[in-house]
Structure 1
Amino acid sequence: MASLTSDLLNFIVFRYLQESGFIHAAFSFGYEAGLNRSTIDDHLVPINALIKIVQKGLQYLELETNLSIDDTDMDEDFRFVEPFDLITKSVSELQQMIKEEKAKVRKDKANADNELDHEREPARDSEKEKNGNDGDLEPMDICTDSTSLPCEISSCDVRALEGHTSEVFVCAWSPEGSLLASGSGDSTARIWTIGDGSGNSTMQRMPPNVMVLNHLDSRATEENNDVTTLDWNRKGTLLATGSYDGQARIWTRAGSLLQTLNKHEGTIFSVKWNKKGDYLLSGSTDRTAVVWNVKSGELKQQFSFNSGFLDVDWLDNNSFAIGSTDNKIYICKVGVNQPVKRFSGHKNAINAIKWDPSGSLLASCSEDTTVKIWSMKRDVCLHNFREHSKEINTVKWSPTGAGTSNPNKKLLLASASFDSTVKLWDVERGRLLHSLNGHREVVYSVAFSPNGDYLASGSLDKCMNIWSVKEAKIVKTYHSDGGIFNVCWNKEGNKVAACFSNKVFVFDIRS
C-alpha cells in the first residue's frame, strides 16, 4: 500500500481548515508547514478530503467487524456502533455489542409485528366505516415543523456556471447590469453575463458569456493564488480582487487588467471600494491595511498594526473600520497616521465587520461567539449579543431603515454561525428577533434581498435556504452536491447566486 506522506497530510489538514472557515488558522498552518514549496497538485485533492479519509477508515473497521460475525445478516441495519466506539474498542468487543444489539432489535421487531397484527383489523374496519368502500386511502402527511417541506427550487429555475477547476469561494453581482463575478482557488476570477429567463429557456441552455481573469504571473508561479475576495465599485464599471499572493488587482467589466497593486506581503482577505470609487482599501495578514489611489494605481497610505486583518469596511469616502485578529476594531482616516478610535471588547479574532446603511452603527462578529454593535459616540459597545453557541462567520445589515430605499421597514442584522443557525437581531431594541434553525451544519454566508423581505443562507450542509424575514420560515430551498461558501442577490432581487465546489449556481426566484 502506498504511504501517506507528511506533506500530503499537511496539505489535507490545510484544506480542511480552509473549508471549515478557519481562514487565518489555515494560512498560519500552511505558512509554518511550508506548503508554498509543496509540489502537490491541489486540484487532485477533493473537497472534504480529511473527513472522507477518517470516515472511510471508520467504515472499514465497522465493515470488518460485521463481516467477522458468523450470524451477520447484511439485510439488517448493522450500524449499531458510534464512531467513538470504533476508535476505543477492540474488534471482539464491537462484535459482542453488535450481537447483543441485533438480538434486541429482532426481539423488538417480533413483538411489534404481533401487536400490529392484533390491531390491524379493527383499525381497517374503522377506516372503512368512515370512508365507505375507500378504506385503502392513504392519509396526507401533516407538517408540524415550521421549517419542514419548504418549496424546493425547480431544476428549470437553476443555471450552473461551469469552468472553474477548484473551489469557488466568493461571488458578487455587479450593482448595475447582469454581470456576476466569482473568485476561485484555481487562480482565476470570472465575470459571467447572465441572461434573463428561467433555466429551461433557450437563453439559459446556451453557453454563458464568461471572461476569465487570470491571477498567475511570474511572481506567483510557486505560490498559492486562490482568489479570496472581490468587490465591485458602486457604478459596476470596475472589479477589485485580492488573493493569496498578496496582490490586489483592478479589472474592467470587460475583463481587462487595469492595475496590479503590489505592496502587501501576506494574503489579502478583504478589498472594499469607497462610495466615491476613487480609493480601494485592502486588508492583509501581513498586519497592514492599504488605501490605494485607483486612478494612478499607487499607494495613498499604509496603516501598520501588530496583527493581521480579516475584514475592512468604509464608513464614508475617507474613514473606515478594520477588524483585527488581536480582538480589536480600529477606526482610521485617510491622511491621519494613527487610528482615530479603537473598539475593545471581543475576546477572540474578529471575522467580519459591517457599517449599517446610515453609517451610524458598526456590527462585528467574532470567534468568541458574540455579535457586538458599536457607535462612534461611545467607547464601549451598545449591544453585546451572546445567543450563538459557536464561532460567528459573518454579519449583514438589512437594506432597510434610514439611509435606504426601504425607509419604512425596521433595520435588522443577520449573523451566521458554526452553530448551524442564522439569527436576526432587532438592533433598535437590542434583542434577538428570530433564530432560523433550518441548517444542519456551519452556515458560511447570508444575504438580504434588495427589499429586505427575504434572506438567503448558504451552509456546509449543501443547502441554500431562502427565508421569509417576517415569518422566519424557509420559503425556498435548494440541495446542492457540495458545501455552499457564499450567496448574493442581484439588484432586481429576482436572482440569487451561490458558489460551492467548482461551480456557481444562479437561481431564478419567482414570487
Structure 2
Amino acid sequence: MTSITSVQLNYLVFRYLQESGFTHSAFALGYEAGINKCTIDGNMVPPSALITLVQKGLQYLEMEANLSNNDADVDEDFSFLEPLDLITKDVYELRKIIREKKKNLQKERDKDKDLDREQEAERGRAREKDRIEREKEHEKDRGRKEKEKEQQKQREDHKEKEMATDPEGGDNTKHDENGASAGIGPEPMDISAAPSVVACEIPSSDVTILEGHTSEVCACAWSPTGSLLASGSGDSTARLWTIADGASRSSAQNGPLNVLVLKHVKGRTNEKSKDVTTLDWNGEGTLLATGSYDGQARIWSTNGELKTTLSKHKGPIFSLKWNKKGDYLLTGSCDRTAIVWDVKAEEWKQQFEFHTGPTLDVDWRNNVSFATSSTDNMIYVCKIGETRPVKTFAGHQGEVNCVKWDPTGSLLASCSDDITAKIWSMKHDKYLHDLKEHSKEIYTLRWSPTGPGTNNPNQQLVLASASFDSTVKLWDVELGKLIYSLNGHRGPVYSVAFSPNGEYLASGSLDNSVHIWSLKEGKIVRTYTGSGGIFEVCWNKEGDKIAACFANNTVCVLDFRM
C-alpha cells in the first residue's frame, strides 16, 4: 500500500486541474497549503472525496500501465478526461471515454495523412513534369550550340579553302544567273539528318499518325493477339486504335469508327488527377488494364466497356502488370504499396507494405510471385500469401526506376538513378553483375525475347538499358560485359523495345526520334523523327509495325520492312 498525506492528496488534485487548463474555468479550485480542504464550484469537498478521486486516478494509472507498459501513453490519456469525469465515473467508464476520444483523434490524423499524401503526389508530379521540360530545353540548347559550332567550322573551312585557291584575295567564285554562289555548299545539316541516317529514314508513306489525344501520350501497348493498339494520355483517357494489317494508311482514314475513347472521368477530359500513367493487356488480349493518377486501376473490354474499377490505393498508380495466367493484376503506387487484385472477384487479394518510399515499378516472376522497386533504393521479391518479402535486394544507391525478370524468371535486372544497372539471382543475396558504363541516370531496361525458354532459343539472351546520357547499351548477361553502346540519340532515351524475333531494337528519345537498330551490326537501320519527345515505343506481335507515343499528343505507327 502507498501512504500519502491529505496535503499531498490536495496537491495532486490541484496540479491535475491546473495542468489540464482549469485554473480559470468554472472549476474554481481553492487550495491552502497544509489545510485539508478544497472547493469545486464553490462547494466544500471533504478529504474522503479527494481520497476517492486520487484512488481512482491511481487505479486507472495502474490498469493502463499494465496494459501498455508505456508511461507516456498513460500521461497523454489524462488529457482526454474532464476533472468532473474523475469524480463521477468509474474506472471502466473512464477507459471508454478515452478509447472513444482516441478513436476520433486517430480519424482526424488519418484524414490529415491522406491529404498530405495527395499533396505530396501532386508536388511529385509537378516536379517530374518540370524535370522533363528542363531536359527538353537543355537538349534544344545543346542542339543549337552544336549546330552553331558546326556552322562556324564550315565557314572557317570555306575561308581557308578560298585563301588556298586565291592567295591574292581575289574573287574566283562563279555565280549562276540567280546570283547563287556555286563555290559555297548548302547550310550544314543537323546530325540526325546526316547522309547515313537520311538513307535509313522511314518515308512518310510508311507512317500513320493517330490524332485525337489532347495532352501528352505517356504509354502505348499492342494487343498480344490482334491489331488493337492502346494508348494512355494526360488528357484523362485511354484509346483503342484499330490498325489494319499491311501497309500504313493516312491518318485521315483513322476516323471515329477505328478508335474507342476510354474516359477516366465523366464529362471533363482535362482533369489532371486522372492522367492515365500506365496500361497493360492480359495474355489473351481480351482485357486492358489502366492505371491513373487518381489511384484507381480500371479494366476495360476490347469494345471499350468499363468492366471493373479497383480502388484501394491512396496515391497515383505508377506501374501495373497482369500475371501470365490472367487471374491477378499487380499495381504499384505512390502510396508506397503494391496490391495484387483478384480480377474475377473484382477485389484486392493482398496489399504489400514493405517500401518506405513510392513504389516505382512492379514485375511478375511467375503467376504468384513478383518484384517491386522504389524511391527508397530497395527491391523486394514478394509472394501471394506471404506476409514478408521472400527476398530482399539491397545495393542501389539511388531510386530504382525499373525492375524486369528475364524470360525464365531466374534473373532480375534493375536500373537506378545511381547510374548503374544490376543483375540479381534468387540464389544470391548480392547482385551477380554491376553494370556501370552509363554516365547518367538509367530510366528503363528490357530483356531480349531470346535464349532458353523463348521462341528464339538459339539466340543469345541480352539486356538493353536506356539512359538520360542519350545512349542505349546492350549487355552480355552471363559475363556482365558491354556488347554495344548504341550512340545515335541526342536526348534522354525513355524507352526501348525488342522485336519479337530478337533481331532488332527500337528506341525512343526526347530528341523526337525513333531509331531501329540491328543487333547483329549494332547500327541504325531505320529511323523516324517526329515533332515531340517520345515516351514509349512498342512492337506488334508480327514484328512489322512499331508504335511510338509522343509529347505532342500523337501516336505514330511505323511500318518496318527490311
Smaller-chain TM-score range?
0.7 to 0.9
Deviation readout 1:355-385 (Å, 9 max, x if unpaired): 0001100000000010100000000000000
Residue 559 of structure 2 aligns with an amino acid whose one-letter code is D
Report deviation, 1:219.
Answer: 12
1:76-475 to structure 2, matched below 5 A, reads 112-117=161-166, 148-200=197-249, 209-217=258-266, 224-305=273-354, 306-475=356-525
Distance 1:231 1:222, change over 3 A: closer
Question: Is the 8 Å Cα contact of residues 263 and 269 (structure 2) preserved in structure 1?
Answer: no
Report deviation, 1:220.
Answer: 11
Residue 533 of structure 2 aligns with an amino acid whose one-letter code is G
Deviation readout 1:102-152 (Å, 9 max, x if unpaired): 9x999997665332335999x99xxxxxxxxxxx9x9xxxx9x99644410
Distance 1:35 1:117, change over 3 A: closer
Correspondence for 1:502: 553
Provide the secondary structure at the position in 2 that maps to 1:224: helix
Question: Is the 8 Å Cα contact of residues 197 and 203 (structure 1) preserved in structure 2?
Answer: no
Report deviation, 1:157.
Answer: 0.5
**C-alpha distance in structure 2 between counterparts of 1:212 and 1:112, whole Å:** 60
**C-alpha distance in structure 1 between counterparts of 2:321 and 2:155, whole Å:** 62
Report deviation, 1:199.
Answer: 2.7
**C-alpha distance in structure 2 between counterparts of 1:246 and 1:347, whole Å:** 28
Question: Is the 8 Å Cα contact of residues 380 and 393 (structure 2) preserved in structure 1?
Answer: yes
Correspondence for 1:477: 527
Correspondence for 2:122: 31
Q: Percent identity?
A: 61
Question: Is the 8 Å Cα contact of residues 447 and 488 (structure 1) preserved in structure 2?
Answer: yes
User: TM-score scaled by structure 2?
Assistant: 0.68
Residue 360 of structure 1 aligns with an amino acid whose one-letter code is S
Question: Is the 8 Å Cα contact of residues 338 and 359 (structure 2) preserved in structure 1?
Answer: yes
Distance 1:218 1:325, change over 3 A: farther
Question: Is the 8 Å Cα contact of residues 197 and 527 (structure 2) preserved in structure 1?
Answer: no
Mind listing any 5+ residue stretches in structure 1 that lack a counterpart?
1-26, 37-41, 60-77, 81-101, 125-135
Q: Provide runs of 4+ in structure 1 moved above 4 Å.
A: 27-30, 32-36, 47-56, 104-112, 118-121, 145-150, 200-208, 217-223
Report deviation, 1:52.
Answer: 6.2
Mind listing any 5+ residue stretches in structure 2 that lack a counterpart?
1-117, 174-182, 186-190
Larger helix share, 1 or 2: 2
Question: Is the 8 Å Cα contact of residues 175 and 235 (structure 1) preserved in structure 2?
Answer: yes
Residue 509 of structure 1 aligns with an amino acid whose one-letter code is F
**C-alpha distance in structure 2 between counterparts of 1:313 and 1:54, whole Å:** 32
Provide the secondary structure at the position in 1 that maps to 2:164: helix
Provide the secondary structure at the position in 1 that maps to 2:273: coil
Question: Is the 8 Å Cα contact of residues 192 and 208 (structure 1) preserved in structure 2?
Answer: no
Question: Is the 8 Å Cα contact of residues 150 and 477 (structure 1) preserved in structure 2?
Answer: no
Question: Is the 8 Å Cα contact of residues 155 and 199 (structure 1) preserved in structure 2?
Answer: no
Question: Is the 8 Å Cα contact of residues 317 and 332 (structure 2) preserved in structure 1?
Answer: yes
Paired residue total? 417
Distance 1:273 1:107, change over 3 A: closer
Which of the two has higher C-alpha Rg?
A: 2
Correspondence for 1:493: 543
Question: Is the 8 Å Cα contact of residues 466 and 493 (structure 2) preserved in structure 1?
Answer: yes
Report deviation, 1:435.
Answer: 0.2
**C-alpha distance in structure 1 between counterparts of 2:159 and 2:507, whole Å:** 45
**C-alpha distance in structure 2 between counterparts of 1:373 and 1:312, whole Å:** 16
Question: Is the 8 Å Cα contact of residues 199 and 205 (structure 1) preserved in structure 2?
Answer: no
**C-alpha distance in structure 2 between counterparts of 1:436 and 1:28, whole Å:** 40
Deviation readout 1:72-106 (Å, 9 max, x if unpaired): xxxxxx979xxxxxxxxxxxxxxxxxxxxx9x999
